[in-house]
Homo-oligomer: A and B are copies of this chain.
Amino acid sequence: MNKKPTIRDIAEICGCSANTVSRVLRGSTRISLALREKIARVAKEIGYIPNSLAESMRTGSTKTIAVIFQDFRNPFFAVLARFIEEYARSLGYFVLFATTSESAEQEVAACRTVLGRNVDGILFSPIQRDTKAVKLLMGQKTPFVLLGRRFQGVDAYSVIADDEQGAYLTTRHLLERGAREILFLNSFSFICTSQFREQGYLRALKEYGGQPHILEVSMEYGKTREALKRLYQKPQPYDAILTFCDMMGFEAYYTLREIGRRVPGDILLAGMDGMQRDFIYPISLTSAVIDRKVLAEKAMDMLLMLIEHQRDSGKPLPDKKEIVIPQTLFLGQTT
């Protein structure tokens, strides 16, 4: 079994040193034209592909960033992944994705794995069950930016959406549509996003004088449906439901119809994230839109500044430690 061709193989064929081949392949013009052409030709002929492992070992840079989040199945992150990948690629970076499957151990494992691969930087959306993983990252020299999350008392760079505002906007909209008893199906309160969204929900209620009704539900497949079905075994006073995210909103829509409620006839429904921006679903859900492209690119830009600063401390650091991206209200068919 013959091995993959290396620069040495090219050098041998061309009768020059490996060094010269390396130079030519990296575009040096200080080599005689004849040799340059010969090397380029031979490289193509034998199907040479540079070994980036070896490259990285020597240069120290992998031109790779890692993105760590929970699950590809969450379309919010799937879309984010796409935009990050696209933007990173346009900047010459390759992206490693590692997922945590909602497990705190797996989260630490994912961080260690990508650190061991010497990525130049990390975009990290933590589960926030604990701070082990982020503490681990703080103890390393690899720059990282928190993606859509932040920790109280942890001094890390982050890019987040204005979740308080998003929830405020959707809740206010429901109130303006006449709802008075709004059930908020939130995610777990250890996630900062849930906390902020709850604050926005409460702020709107306060302004309009409504009572809060909050139920914490997992984002996993079927959990929103289960919760709603259980809840509606008894009569409920709600005239609107707000969900932590659109995927939960879709489950709520499905379940409400299942139990004979018309949306928006009998009950109003709004979600958050604004997935409608990237997909056309069977019905359009009123929602607070987060521009995932902006989120992806701001996070990547911030990370790049950190990477460049680290390589050359003359380069500037980001002027803010936290970037907050505003959300906008999308009016769908469910209100």
Contacts and interface: CB of A to CB of B under 8 A. Distances in A.
Number of copies: 2
Interface in A18-77: 47, 49-54, 56-57, 62, 71-73, 75
Contacts of A251: 280
A107 interface: no
Contacts of A280: 221-222, 224-225, 250-251, 254-255
Nearest to A52: B116
Contact of A75 (B50, B75, B224): B75
A282 B54 CA distance: 50
B52 A117 contact: yes
Contacts of A195: none
A141 B247 contact: no
Contact of A53 (B1, B56, B139): B56
A140 interface: yes
A149 to B, nearest CB: 20
A99 interface: yes
A255 B282 CA distance: 8
B139 A47 contact: yes
Interface string A69-108: 0011101001101100110000000111111010000000
A51 B113 contact: no
Interface in A250-278: 250-251, 253-255, 257, 278
Contacts of A281: 250, 254, 281-282
Contact of A283 (B101, B221, B283): B283
A171 interface: no
A284 interface: yes
A282 B251 CA distance: 6
A303 to B, nearest CB: 18
Nearest to A334: B282
Interface in A183-218: none
A118 interface: yes
A71 B82 contact: yes
Given A97-B97, A116-B49, A82 B86 contact: no
A2 B141 CA distance: 9
A115 interface: yes
Contacts of A283: 254, 257, 282-283
Top 8 A-B pairs, shortest CB-CB distance: A78-B78, A251-B280, A72-B81, A253-B282, A72-B78, A52-B116, A282-B283, A72-B82
Interface of A: 1-4, 47, 49-54, 56-57, 62, 71-73, 75, 78-79, 81-82, 85-86, 94-99, 101, 112-113, 115-118, 139-141, 221-222, 224-225, 247, 250-251, 253-255, 257, 278-285, 310
Given A53-B62, A71-B82, 8 more contacts: A4-B140, A52-B116, A53-B57, A72-B81, A73-B75, A73-B278, A250-B282, A254-B280
